[in-house]
């Protein structure tokens, strides 16, 4: 696509118009690659900053607050025995938990 520029226009204006038209043609051809590059760049920055933040928090808890490590609860989930792929939620469920955990009630 050629842009028509009148003969009276200044040389600077002609250069600006020609450069703009060339850049728009390149953008029309390569917009998918440009978009993919921007997406990968933003995703990688997100994961790098997230990893840095998590490492910083873990370092702070380990080094600066050594007494808080013992008060953090890792997991309070109970183990449950599965019966045919489903959990038994009836009255016998308490007995199956004690059998799995090795605790007699």
Structural domain spans, the chain: 10-72, 74-105
What confidence tier does 63 reach under pLDDT thresholds 50, 70, 90? confident
How far is residue 43's CA from residue 48's CA, in Å, rounded to a whole number? 9
Residues 6+ apart with CB under 8 A from 34: 27
In the predicted structure, residue 18 carries a pLDDT above the cut 70: yes
Mean pLDDT of 32-45: 84
Output 25-33 pairs: Cβ under 8 A, ≥24 positions apart: 25/1
What confidence tier does 55 reach under pLDDT thresholds 50, 70, 90? confident
In angstroms, what CA-CA distances link 78 with 1, 93, 94, 101? 70, 12, 11, 9
- 97 versus 42: the higher-pLDDT residue is 42
Task: Quote helix, strand, coil % in the chain, to nearest 5.
Answer: 65, 5, 35
| Stretch among 3-7, 14-18, 27-31, 98-102 having the lowest mean pLDDT | 98-102
Instruction: Please compute Rg for the chain using Cα positions.
Output: 33
Does the global pTM surpass 0.85?
no
pLDDT recorded at residue 21: 93
């Amino acid at each position: 696509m050629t842009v028509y520029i009148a003969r009276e226009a200044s040389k600077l204006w002609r250069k600006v118009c020609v450069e703009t038209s060339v850049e728009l043609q390149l953008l029309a051809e390569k917009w998918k690659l440009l978009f993919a590059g921007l997406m990968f760049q933003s995703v990688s920055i997100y994961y790098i900053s997230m990893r840095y933040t998590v490492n910083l928090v873990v370092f702070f808890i380990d080094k600066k607050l050594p007494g808080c490590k013992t008060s953090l609860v890792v997991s309070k989930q109970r183990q449950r025995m599965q019966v045919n792929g489903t959990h038994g939620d009836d009255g016998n469920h308490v007995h199956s938990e004690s059998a799995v955990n090795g605790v007699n009630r």
